[in-house]
Amino acid sequence: MLSKTIDPTNIPSHVAIIMDGNGRWAKAQGEDRLYGHSNGVASVRETLKAARELGVKYLTLYAFSTENWARPKSEIEGLMQLLVASIHNELDSLCENGVRLVTIGEIEKLPQDCIESLNEAKDKTKNHKEITLILALNYSSRDEIIRACNRLAEQVLQGNIAPGEIQQRHLEEALDTAHVPDPELLIRTSGEYRVSNFLLWQLAYAEMHFTKVFWPEFRKQHFIEAIADFQSRERRFGKTSEQLT
């Protein structure tokens, strides 16, 4: 059921989310940080469902940044176990609902069991067409851009691109997000107002929606609020208001 506040003809095709506030939410309950992450999985499930129902075609979630390796070992191990368990528990539902799972970031550096469950889920869901769920894992945008530059340097060396002829599309095709349209909407939870090394290139024209809600409490109504906020913006892409009419 679509909300009355939403215009179904103006749904962003790609929404990216910085899921933040798991630790603070858990602390406020007198629990440890992993309790916050575990509860965040329900928010992932509900947000994916809401996005699919509204007709969003790509949903990118910042699940583990390259900077997150600096966290306590027990938290990192807990997060990785949660990821494997979540994929195991949700795979049937992803298949029933036409969800294609892909990843961005260097997943080769994750623990072996994570790599295997991700690869299995990606393979089993690769032909699904309803919505693409993109998990950013061991991801940071600067790292992604550097890896893309190295790929381009290799192409120049091989004579596929002339030096001085690198175009925007070459870089876009070398990024982990190749063939994915740029996000039109970025949501960040927990009252933080930063981009935190997430999709720096791809967010060039994205609308930003910040909410104070901690990620474990993020529900369908909050997602709908973010879409309504997006729909209230005038997207000018550098033009004047008058040029748009």
Q: Which of 33, 20, 45 is nearest to 220 (CA)?
A: 45
68: annotated active-site residue: yes
DSSP 182: P
Query: What minimum distance in Å lies between the beta carbon of 53 and ligand FPP?
Result: 19
Q: Can you tell me which residue has the tokens 């795979």?
A: 91
Rank residues 12 and 23 by Cβ distance to ligand FPP and give the closer one: 23
Size of the site for ligand FPP (CB under 6 A): 20
Is the distance from CB of 187 to CB of 19 less than 8 angstroms?
Answer: no
Binding mask 116-145 for ligand FPP (x = CB under 6 A): -------------------x----------
Nearest residue to ligand FPP, scored by beta-carbon proximity: 23
Residues 33-92 that bind ligand FPP (CB under 6 A): 33, 37, 40-41, 44, 61, 63, 68, 82-83, 86
Nearest distance from C-beta of residue 96 to ligand FPP, angstroms: 17
d(CA 156, CA 166) in angstroms, rounded, equals: 9
Do residues 76 and 33 make contact, with C-beta atoms less than 8 angstroms apart?
A: no
Among 17, 19, 48, 110, indicate the residue that binds ligand FPP (CB under 6 A).
19
Exactly one of 11, 14, 15, 20 binds ligand FPP (CB under 6 A); which one?
A: 20
Q: Least CB distance from residue 91 to ligand FPP, whole Å?
A: 12
- In angstroms, rounded to a whole number, what is the distance separating the alpha carbons of residues 190 and 218? 10
Contact 44, 3 (CB under 8 A): no
Beta bridge partners of 97: none
22 part of the active site = no
Strand 58-65's sheet: what is its strand order? 99-104, 131-139, 58-65, 14-18, 185-188, 207-210
Residue 115 touching ligand FPP (CB under 6 A): no
- Residues involved in catalysis: 20, 68
Residues that bind ligand FPP (CB under 6 A): 19-24, 33, 37, 40-41, 44, 61, 63, 68, 82-83, 86, 135, 190, 215
